[in-house]
């Protein structure tokens, strides 16, 4: 049996879809379904049970979970703009600590979602190294404490913490402002033919902020590989290639142009509420994954954006 927390979310739902594609259905999903539109992410998947996140921990020590072999812990408060520290720490850090301790006691394979946000502004690079870590929001801080807890325990061999970079792809329609820029650009263009690029900020010209964009299917491949080969540690999960927002819109313009659809860009002032807690540049160092034996072959940015736009174009409105 496999447990997937955050199973209706972007990465969790795609893990479940791939498990199903591999012929595996003995899955318990844990999540918070306050936002019921997340059900569209799993409405065609096969699972054996669902538990609300608030009920899951209280049942961990029961016989119900005696046959669990692996847990993909993708659930968290992922809003980088959330400043209620008590809420974030309870949902992210304390919750994850309980799962870590339980997994160690039972020698269960655990893959936890961490985040590239632990590197803050990235002045010292994006290496899995304490000298590079400087979180600038509560979400990032909670993820750094998660990783430091694993370090304190000596990095148990049955536990992997994956620092996802800028993930996009099918299954993020429910994320609101936390959805990828590719998703937001698509919604904007579909609405009025124009997408909005942030203006000059942090030494970057308009549209030149760069991110390490990675398709969710690549993230799933990494997670399932870590489960299969029981590789423990803290790993960056990105493509090791930073692309500007302008480059992203160039690729999107090709897709829209091929369909004869309008695509324009406009520059808007950089949002005041993001100043001080915004990463203008990310780029994953993948030496840890490579040393562990993962091939680190990821979908090219053009192919991944085209594939995602094809998906968005083909899905129902209520699932977007």
**Catalytic residue positions, numbered:** 139, 175
Of 74, 239, 90, 244, which is closest to residue 161 (Cα–Cα)?
74
Q: Tally the C-alpha atoms within 13 A of residue 277's C-alpha that lie toward its C-beta.
A: 15
Phi, psi of 20 (to 5 degrees): -60, -45
Q: What is the 3-state secondary structure (H, E, C) of 83-134?
A: CCHHHHHHHHHHHHHHHHHHHHHHCCEEEEEEEHHHHCCCCCCCCCCHHHCC
Q: List C-alpha distances in Å: 199 to 55, 121, 123, 206.
A: 44, 18, 21, 4
- Residue for token digits 């990095």? 155
Q: List C-alpha distances in Å: 273 to 62, 173, 270.
A: 44, 22, 9
If phi > 0 it is left, if psi is from -120 to 50 it is alpha, else beta; for residue 29 that is beta
Q: CB under 8 Å to 240, separation ≥6 — which residues?
A: 212, 283, 284, 285, 286, 296
Q: List C-alpha distances in Å: 192 to 91, 180, 235, 261.
A: 38, 19, 40, 11
CA distance 111 to 223: 7
How far does CA 31 lie from the centroid of its chain? 15
- 3-class state of residue 245 by DSSP: helix
DSSP code for 201:
B
Of 186, 187, 199, 185, which is closest to residue 269 (Cα–Cα)?
199
CA distance 166 to 52: 27
């Amino acid at each position: 049996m496999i447990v997937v927390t955050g199973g209706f979310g972007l990465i969790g739902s795609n893990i479940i879809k791939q498990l199903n594609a591999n012929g595996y259905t003995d899955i318990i999903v844990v999540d918070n379904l306050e936002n019921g539109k997340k059900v569209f992410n799993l409405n065609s998947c096969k699972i054996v049970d669902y538990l609300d996140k608030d009920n899951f921990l209280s049942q961990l020590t029961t016989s119900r979970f005696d046959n669990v072999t692996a847990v993909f812990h993708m659930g968290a408060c992922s809003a980088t703009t959330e400043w209620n520290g008590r809420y974030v720490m309870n949902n992210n850090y304390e919750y994850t600590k309980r799962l870590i301790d339980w997994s160690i006691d039972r020698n269960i394979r655990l893959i936890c979602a961490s985040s590239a946000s632990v590197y803050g502004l990235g002045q010292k690079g994006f290496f899995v190294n304490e000298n590079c870590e400087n979180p600038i929001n509560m979400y990032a801080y909670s993820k750094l404490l998660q990783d430091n807890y694993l370090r304190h325990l000596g990095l148990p061999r049955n536990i992997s913490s994956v620092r996802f970079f800028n993930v996009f792809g099918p299954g993020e329609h429910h994320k609101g402002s936390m959805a990828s820029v590719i998703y937001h650009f698509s919604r904007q263009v579909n609405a009025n033919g124009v997408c909005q690029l942030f203006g000059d900020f942090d030494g970057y010209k308009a549209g030149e902020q760069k991110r390490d964009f990675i398709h969710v299917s690549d993230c799933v491949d990494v997670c399932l590989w870590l489960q299969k080969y029981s590789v423990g540690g803290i790993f960056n999960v990105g493509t090791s290639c930073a692309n500007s927002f302008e480059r992203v819109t160039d690729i999107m313009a090709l897709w829209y142009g091929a369909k004869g659809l309008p695509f324009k860009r406009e520059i808007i002032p950089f949002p005041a509420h993001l100043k001080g807690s915004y990463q203008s540049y990310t780029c994953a160092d993948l030496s840890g994954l490579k040393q562990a034996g993962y091939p680190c072959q990821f979908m090219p940015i053009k192919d991944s954006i085209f594939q995602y736009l094809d998906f968005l174009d083909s899905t129902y409105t209520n699932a977007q």
